[in-house]
Structure formats: C-alpha cells, structure tokens
Structure 1
Amino acid sequence: MTRQTRRPHGNAKYHLEKCRCLACRKAVRDYENNRYRAMAYGRWQPFVDAEPVRSHVRALGEFGIGWMRVARLAGVSTGAVCKLLYGDRRRNLPPTRRVRPETARKILAVQPTLDNLSDRTPIDGTGTRRRLQALVAAGWTQAELSRRMGMNRANFSRIFVGNLIEVGTAKAVSALYDQLWHIDPVTAGVPEHRAAAARLIAVSNRWAPVGAWDDDQIDDPDAWPDWTGWCGTPRGRRAHYRTRTPVCPPCRQAATQQTAA
C-alpha cells in the first residue's frame, strides 16, 4: 500500500515527497532566496536579522530535524537556538530579534540531508526502489537482500510498492547497494538457479540494471534509465532493437521528433 502523509505543501514536501506543485515550487524559491540573503550579510555587522535563521530552523523541523539537533549539528548552544525560537521564558522575553553573523552562518549551513534527518522521517522512495531493483537485475535474490538488511520478507517487499519510506531504510539500502552493485551474487554464495530466477523477475518487471543509472539521477523521480547508452537520442530506438529491450519513452519521443523533422 502507498504510504500517505499529512505534510502540508511547501519546502519539506518538495524535497521529501518530491511534490512539484506550484505551491511547493514557490516555497522552495522563497526559502532559498531568504536563506541566501541571510548568508550574504557582511561580516562587519555585529548582529543580523534573526527571522531568516528562525525560519530555517523551523523548516528543518518540518524535515524531522529538531531544534536541539540543529544546535548540535551547527555547533552552537541549545540555549541560543531555544531563545531564537521561544525567547527567554524565565525572564518573560520574546524570541531573539537579532543574532551574531557567525551564529547565523552556522545554523543556515545545516541542511536536510539523509545523515542529518531522523531515521523515522518519511521521504520519497524512488531511489531506494531503483537500487534494490538494480540489484535484483544483477541476480541478487530478494530473500538474500532482505537477509543482509536484517528485515523479514514482508517488510522488505513493501519497499518495492510504497511511494514513501523512512530515512533509516533509505540509508540501509544505499549502503547495501554500494556494497553489492559490483559483486557477482553467484560468487558471493547465491545459488546460480536462484540468481537466474531473480534476473528473470527483473526482466519481466522491466527493472533497470545497475549500469542504466547515473549516481546523480537514480534518486530523481523524473529521470529515466539509460538502457542502451543511447537512450533519448535518435540512435536509441535501434539500440533497443539490437539489445532486444523494449523501447523506452525517451527513445520513442526522440524517434518521433526525428520523423517530424
């Protein structure tokens, strides 16, 4: 079943769930513009406006990075971040209006990467599914992959069908992929007949192999695998025929554009 969240449309939903609606795209633009303006303050200024820094901490909170964790990652005191968000309640003071440029720079440098996110934060699972599918296409059985991840088969199988996964799962799959993508599963102990069966499953489901993905595209939901080395070019369609693989949409589109020209 597809996992749903009630996360509102905005910067976090854009990055974590890959939502590309107008509201999410605008939120990202506004957020980045605000962040860059804050980081561009001159060093001569003793203090800078705290609002962009406060907005950044709140945005990180939407990603699953709590303010105390932000303080640790930035190398600033938790008291400074607490006052930035809530003020000094003991003295009945409002949230900080200005902060030192160095404090602002350190906090604004904290980004919502996988390493900084909580393991329970839900994110888009596109890249994780593609990594597992590529390993199956190489001959790694799902049983062996789930065993190496320490997961039962039922929970492991859900990764292949859900749109959202937890950060901890994404980290574990990425580490497993980096470990296994260049290793022959048969030499690693997978029975040859089971490796062959895994490859047939990948072929029947049109799961792209490891070589079809670039590292900078495998996590992009809008990216297509390069099955032939010529995908998306006029030569791609013929390459599909030579390799006996179904013609992918980019090659189909390239062929149509060539015919129209």
Structure 2
Amino acid sequence: MGAPRRHGTNAKYHLERCRCAPCCTAASEYDNNRRRAIAYGRWQPFVDAEPVRAHVRNLGEFGIGWMRLARLAGVPRGSVSKLLYGDPQRGLAPSKRLLPKNALAILAVQPTLDNLGARVAVDGTGTRRRLQALVAKGWPQSELARRTGMHQANLSKTITGTLVQVGTVRAVSGLYDQLWRVEPVDGGVPAHRAEAARRIAVQHNWAPVGCWDDDTIDAPEAFADWTGKCGTPDGRRSHYRIGIPVCAPCRDARTAHRNQAALVAAA
C-alpha cells in the first residue's frame, strides 16, 4: 500500500489529498514557481535552471525519476542529468541555465495518473468506492480479484484501504468501466454467489453503483447519494421511504435544518 508521506510537500497534497496548512503552502508555492518559470521561458534566450530543477525533484517525490521524466518530456537524458548532477567527469557543476524549449517541455510534465509509476502510492478513495460498488451489484470479491489479476487477500485490503498503488487504481478503474452496467449472472457469476456478495455489501453499508457520479467518485469530500436527495433536509424522509438506513450527510443536514429553524423561531 505504501507508507504515508511527510507533511509539507506537494506530493502529500496531491497524492494523499492532505489539506493541512503545510501541505497547502507547499502546493501553492510550487504552483507559483512553476507558473513563473513557464512565463520566463516565453521570452528569455536561456532560462534559470533552478525552478526547472525544483520541478524535476518535485516529480521525483511523486515517483517519476529523471530518466522517465526525460522520456515523457522528449528531452535528451543528458540534459536532465546535467541539470541535476552536472558532469562529474569533466568537473562541471549542475546547469545554471537551460534552453527554453527544454525547460518548457520538462515543466509541462505533471504527476498525472498516466505519468506516475505503477508502484507509486496514491489516495485510494475512488478505488475503494468502485470495488465496493461492484460488490454491492453482486460481483464477488474473488471474481474481482481474478479479473484484476490480484490476490484475493490484497483485494480485500484494497477494498477498505487508505492508500493504493497506481497500477491498482488503473486496473480497478478499467474493470469498473467494464462491469458497472453488467449483471453478475450475465457475466457468469452463479446467482447464489451474487446474492452473497450483495449481502456482504449491505452488512458493510457499501454504496452501490447508482450512488456515485463519475465526476465525484474519486473526491474524498463527496458522499454517496443513496436517495437522490442525500445531504439535504429531505434526504432523511427519502431514506425511510426507500427503506434503507439514514446516511450521515442526511442526518447532519436534518440536524442543521432544525437548528436553523430553532434560531429563527427564537429571534
């Protein structure tokens, strides 16, 4: 799964979605430096290498090594090596200046899911929700493990884990896209096993596919919309009508609504 990163880094902010003050500051400072470096590259014949070097080191925290970065940016490996280490055999220090085209190409590489290495640990929120939703649909965990090429014990950890590897994120996301509209029985799962999977999901209160939008399933702050009105004062009544337990956002929304009404009445 990977160990949590230290606070006060851009990687902690983006990969683990930490929003503490040190991580927010680190992310803001990095973004400002990168924007300035890109702006400089538009007009200078050579650009200061330091902001670019900082970007390369920052990408290293995301698991993107300098050789991989050179390939992604389409920049000669020698240029990136000299940027970081100079040329020890010739007694040259790391580069102080850089060609604008190389600087812009390097700065354009960002730590997106496509660029990260398969073993880099990232926030597992979306992966966890996708697996849980598929189980709620009736896909047994053993079948999901087989289709993703994972050991079932590892999938069981992933389905409740905090951090997951990028390779797992990609595999689960692809599987979810394939299966979320497919009935398990139509996919070869015996009916009794599909029903057993659904019972497990109910026991753990795992949200089904219909509770998530593609735009929010990866966002830690998002919550499952069981009723179409979850998170609103009317959500609680909708839960009762459907016959499913009231979710926390609906309880909170109802309490906030009552408190507000009491304040208005007392005014």
Structure-1 residue corresponding to 2:233: 234
CA distance in structure 1 between the aligned counterparts of 2:44 and 2:255, rounded to whole angstroms: 58
Letter in 2 for 1:94: A
Offset at residue 142 of structure 1 (A): 0.8
Query: Which residue of 2 is the match for residue 120 of structure 1?
Result: 119
Q: Structure 1 residue 181: deviation in Å?
A: 0.8
Give the AA of the match of 2:163. Answer: L
1:113 maps to a residue whose letter is: T
Look up the match of 1:207. 206
**SS state at 1:186 partner:** helix
> Where in structure 2 are the equivalents of 1:34-73 lying within 5 Å?
34-41=33-40, 43-73=42-72
- SS, match of residue 184 in structure 2: coil
For normalisation by structure 2, the TM-score amounts to 0.92
Q: Which amino acid aligns with 1:242?
A: R
CA distance in 2, matches of 1:42, 1:80: 16
Q: What residue number does 1:13 align with?
A: 12
Q: Corresponding residue for 1:76? A: 75
Aligned to 2:188: 189
TM-superposed CA distance for 1:162, in Å, is 2.5
Rounded to whole Å, the distance in 2 between the matches of 1:40 and 1:188 is 53
- Aligned-residue RMSD, C-alpha: 1.5
Deviation at 1:36, TM superposition (A): 1.2
CA distance in 2, matches of 1:15, 1:152: 28
More deviation in 123-132 or 146-155? 146-155
* Aligned counterpart, 1:163: 162
Paired position in structure 2 for 1:138: 137
CA distance in 2, matches of 1:156, 1:11: 28
Alignment of structure 1 residues 212-231 onto 2, 5 Å: 212-231=211-230
| Aligned residue number for residue 247 of structure 1 | 246
Contact 2:125 2:218 in 1 (8 A): yes
SS at match of 2:126: helix
Paired residue for 1:150? 149
Q: Residue 18 of structure 1: CA displacement? A: 2.4
How far residue 163 of structure 1 moved from its aligned partner, in angstroms, is 1.6
Deviation at 1:222, TM superposition (A): 2.0
Question: Distance between the aligned counterparts of 1:232 and 1:75, measured in 2?
Answer: 47
User: 1:35-88: per-residue Cα shift (whole Å, max 9, x none)?
Assistant: 111112252321111111111110110110000100100011111111111112
Residue ranges of structure 1 left out of the alignment (5+ in a row) = none
Q: Which runs of 5+ in 2 are unaligned?
A: 262-267
- C-alpha distance in structure 2 between counterparts of 1:47 and 1:216, whole Å: 41
Letter in 1 for 2:152: R
1:4, distance to aligned residue in structure 2 (A): 5.7
Q: Which has the higher helix share?
A: 2
Which stretch shifts more, 241-250 or 65-74?
Answer: 241-250
In structure 2, distance between residues paired with 1:211 and 1:41: 47
Distance 1:150 1:44 in 2: 50
